[in-house]
Structure 1
Amino acid sequence: MALLDDVIDANGGIARWNSLSRFTLHLSVGGTLFSSAGHAREFKDVIAEGSTRTQSVRFTGITGGEQSGAFQPDAITIESVDGEVLQTWSNPDTFDASPQVLADELHLIFFCGVMIWNYLTTPFLLARSDVVVEELPSWEEGIETWRRLRAQLPPKLVTFAGEQIFYFDENALQRRTDHDCLGMKVAHYSWAHESFDGIVVPTLRRSQMRQPDGTVNAKPVLIDVEIFDASFE
């Protein structure tokens, strides 16, 4: 598909992506979903390390640097700084359709693991053979025209929603994603793209409520992500 090919090339190319296996991020995550659940500071100034090939992310420095948390589809753990396992959630199922589930720390790790892994692997994720994509009519976002892809993601992939719509600007960079999240209709914006080890990454991300006509509410900001640095190997 021509649009997906352009997008993959604009973000570093499939050959470069396929040569990589790991990523490391220095980031902060906040927003009303976190503060309303009592976790306003848990994911401030943390390190996220993960695999580009399988769903796996480890967060170091959560809860003010006192703990670490690890996400895999079949296990969530929270550990002390010296490696002692404090909490475990084996074979986690999907979220209840309520933001209140984030009050539980294991659910919070699950949520952030799913979120960060999918953020970092998109748009290359869309080139997988088990992902079905189709181009939709363009979208007018203010004075800009963004092209769109609708993606059907496989059930074995842990995501917030099996169907998502991705928006790309004139430079073929991802600028928005529409999907359901915790029972809400969400528009997730991304911008301030930078290149790290040959891979282009949006360093600022923000999720807001989406209206039936596709427009968004400026407030509340549900999720706010800032990536300070990234590396791939």
Structure 2
Amino acid sequence: MNDLVNLAIEAHGGLERWNQYSSLSAHLVQGGALWGLKGKGGLLDDVNVTVALKRQWASHAPFGSADVRSSFEKDRTALERQDGSLIEELKDPHTSFAGHTLETPWSDLQLAFFAGCAMWTYLNVPFVLAQPDVHSKELSPWDETGETWRRLEVIYPETLEVFSKKQMLYFAANGELRRMDYDVEIAGNTPGAHYVSDYTEVSGIRFPTRRKIYPRTPDGTSLAEPLVVSIDLDDITLIK
């Protein structure tokens, strides 16, 4: 790992402590224009999310109905009853987004895929950067909001489902994450600037609890509106 990855991981609680846990859960409140644009407004506004920390899996519940939950994996997305019985599933879900633009509506299973991919990535950063098949290099610094942020270009492997294989992460001088940039491939490569703030500490691990995602211009600056997605987290619990 390069020194910026080491700094970021230590600033968020350290890899040794992180590796003691297998999953985490949190209460999730979401807003922004995206959900209505995709025809799914209100479906995941106020839910619980659970993500695995040692494999790529995530679940949102309730998913529309109180007794329904989602199950996201790279090669399969499903909706299940709370007892685990299958309602419907989508194999190789990434391919179902072929030809999509930002305005293309989603099915419930596509929503489950997007939301699961998003929250797994968000909650595993920066610790996922320690995986040997995740490559990164530091680029020139970036000035924003009166601060100078260190920039890390990250290349994710084909074995992980992420919004784009190449992403840019921005870190404050103390190693705290401030921003993530990516182009959402499954939504016509829509560019986003994803800001994080309001850190809290849980079992020695530090998490940002507020996230806001805005459009990003070709020169890397973000637009003040529309607010594409907002994410607020509380009641974060780490599970061994």
| Superposition TM-score, scaled by structure 2 size | 0.92
* CA offset digits 1:54-73 (Å, max 9, x no partner): 11112111226352111111
* Root mean square deviation of aligned Cα: 1.6
1:163 matched to 2:166: yes
TM-aligned CA deviation for residue 80 of structure 1: 3.9
Contact kept? 1:193, 1:200, Cα under 8 Å: yes
Matched ranges for 1:180-195 at <5 A: 180-181=183-184, 182=187, 183-195=189-201
2:219 and 2:120 map into 1 onto residues whose CA distance is 29
Matched ranges for 1:1-233 at <5 A: 1-63=2-64, 65=66, 67-81=68-82, 83-94=84-95, 95-96=97-98, 97-181=100-184, 182=187, 183-233=189-239
Question: Mind listing any 5+ residue stretches in structure 1 that lack a counterpart?
Answer: none
Q: 1:158 to 1:203 in 2, by over 3 A?
A: same
Q: Percent identity?
A: 33
* Greater Cα offset, 11-20 or 64-73: 64-73
Q: 1:18 to 1:27 in 2, by over 3 A?
A: same
1:226 and 1:64 map into 2 onto residues whose CA distance is 21
TM-aligned CA deviation for residue 24 of structure 1: 0.8
Q: What is the SS of the residue equivalent to 2:227?
A: strand
TM-aligned CA deviation for residue 50 of structure 1: 2.2
Q: What is the SS of the residue equivalent to 2:94?
A: coil
TM-aligned CA deviation for residue 93 of structure 1: 2.6
Question: Mind listing any 5+ residue stretches in structure 2 that lack a counterpart?
Answer: none
Q: Which has the higher strand share?
A: 1
1:155 and 1:24 map into 2 onto residues whose CA distance is 26
Task: Write out the 4+ residue segments of structure 1 that deviate beyond 2 Å after TM superposition.
Answer: 64-67, 79-86, 93-97, 99-103
Alignment-mate amino acid for residue 226 of structure 1: D
